Amino acid sequence: MRHHRLFAGTSAVAVFALAPASVPAYAETVRPTSGAADAVRENPGPVDAEGADAEPGAVRNPQVGGALLTTRGIAVHRDAPRLPKVAASSFLIADAETGQVLAARNAHGRFLPASTLKILTALTLIPKLDKAKKIKPSHEACNTEGSAVGLVPTVSYSVDDLLRALMVVSGNDAAVALAEANGGLKPTLAAMNAEAKRLQAYNTVAKTPNGLDKPGQVSSAYDLALLARDGLKNPTFRGYIATKVADFPAPKGKTYQIANHNRLLWQYKGGLGVKNGYTSKARASFVGAAKRNGHTIIVTLMRSDAPFWEDAKEMLDWGFAARGKVAPVGQLVDPVDPAAEKAKAAPAAPLPTAPVAGAQTALQGSGDSLPIPLLAAVGAGGVVGAVAFTLYRRRRARRSEPSL
């Protein structure tokens, strides 16, 4: 990719007062509504496991994905199509194939995720649970507040049924039942937070499996895009989010029909679904994706006004228009490779206590031999010392010769 020179200048978009003296040519930043004084907050390091310092809107690990995503304003290439007006406090538009972030506002700002957190629940439990496994949910699961699929403790549900209910009708009761199938809330939340870390979604802390508001539970538009991108690579996940209608088990062997809450599956050409959410504290959140002409665009919204469907459609339209034509302002990073991390964490091998292969050969023909104690000490770095010792002896011998 062509690198742009840094420069400072004026444009049609205001640059907030605390911006660096020079701004990348492909980054424009809009003054945030909260004012320039808190435009940028850098809190390096991954979020702590308990999320004790979670603060809605605060930025964590701003360098993940690129420095241009550190602002609470808008980052977009100045030659890109004009962005639609979006009511959300935070949003992101990305190319799913390349991972390029095409535009964003407050990408790393941390907000209550509401039911978009169920994306992480599904990504965590799909590989852990047998889809055919049957579960009788507890009374606690069946009585979970908020959106529900209508579980009853007298019916056995398959994991497949529950995962579909989780993503199609945002069943909070299904989320708790799935956690029970995985050994309970504690191991499930631990696994969810470990999965977020593997995906480098460091702004995300899960405190519930269903996204119901709880102190310390947060995510970001950037992290939600990471989760969606990973999920779109999984055929099972794609099948759940693309389901428009499905039959769901009811008592006495009967079924009833459930329908997807994601309107874009019906209203947007190429819509792939993903997940929407809402609570009174979180306000509206949304993760959506669509595919056209072989290319997939991901959009995320956090702390938005409802309804947000038109905003989402316009963001997708913008993403398809900009994809491959404008320079990105960031990157959706790839998941951490567990094998590479394990190798990185492994202790360094001790220095050898015997000569490395070839050490003796390197000294042959010198006319000198090394004392046994010194030879035994030659290791990976000892060859250099041994050669130096030999040269020293040669110089000493020459000094003792008579001058002619």
Measured between alpha carbons, how far is residue 47 from residues 58, 219, 387 in Å? 11, 10, 51
- Write out pLDDT tens, residues 218-236: 999 999 999 999 999 999 9
pLDDT > 60? residue 187? yes
* Active-site option among 89, 90, 147, 170: 170
Is 118 designated active site? yes
The residues pairing with 295 across neighbouring beta strands, listed in sequence order, are 292
* Active-site option among 89, 90, 115, 220: 115
pLDDT value at residue 338: 73
Mean confidence (pLDDT) of the chain:
79
pLDDT value at residue 348: 60
pLDDT > 50? residue 99? yes
Distant-in-sequence, close-in-space partners of 80: CB < 8 Å, separation ≥ 6: 102, 103, 322, 325, 326
Report the alpha-carbon distance of residue 330 to residue 75 in Å, rounded. 9
pLDDT value at residue 213: 97
- From the list 305, 298, 260, the residue with the least C-alpha distance to 278 is 305
394 confidence band (pLDDT: 50, 70, 90): low
- Write out pLDDT tens, residues 80-94: 999 999 999 999 999
Is 115 designated active site? yes
Report the alpha-carbon distance of residue 163 to residue 241 in Å, rounded. 10
Is 170 designated active site? yes
* Active-site option among 118, 207, 275, 313: 118
pLDDT value at residue 346: 66
- How confident is the model over 91-117, as a mean pLDDT? 97
341 confidence band (pLDDT: 50, 70, 90): low
For the chain, the structural domain boundaries read 114-343, 359-400
- How confident is the model over 397-404, as a mean pLDDT? 41
CA atoms within 13 A on the CB side of 87: 14
pLDDT value at residue 50: 34
What letter represents residue 385's amino acid? G
- How confident is the model over 2-11, as a mean pLDDT? 34
- Write out pLDDT tens, residues 268-324: 999 999 999 999 999 999 999 999 999 999 999 999 998 999 999 999 999 999 999
pLDDT value at residue 165: 98
- Write out pLDDT tens, residues 50-67: 333 445 555 555 579 999
pLDDT value at residue 71: 87
- Write out pLDDT tens, residues 128-177: 999 999 999 999 999 999 999 999 999 999 999 999 999 999 999 999 99
Q: Which residue has the higher pLDDT, 218 or 6?
A: 218
pLDDT value at residue 292: 96
pLDDT value at residue 365: 35
pLDDT value at residue 45: 33
**Counts of helices then strands in the chain (DSSP H, E):** 13, 13
Report the alpha-carbon distance of residue 334 to residue 118 in Å, rounded. 20
The CATH H-level superfamily of 114-343 is: DD-peptidase/beta-lactamase superfamily (3.40.710.10)
Measured between alpha carbons, how far is residue 403 from residues 391, 396, 399, 400 in Å? 20, 14, 9, 9
pTM score over 0.85: no
pLDDT value at residue 60: 55
357 confidence band (pLDDT: 50, 70, 90): very low
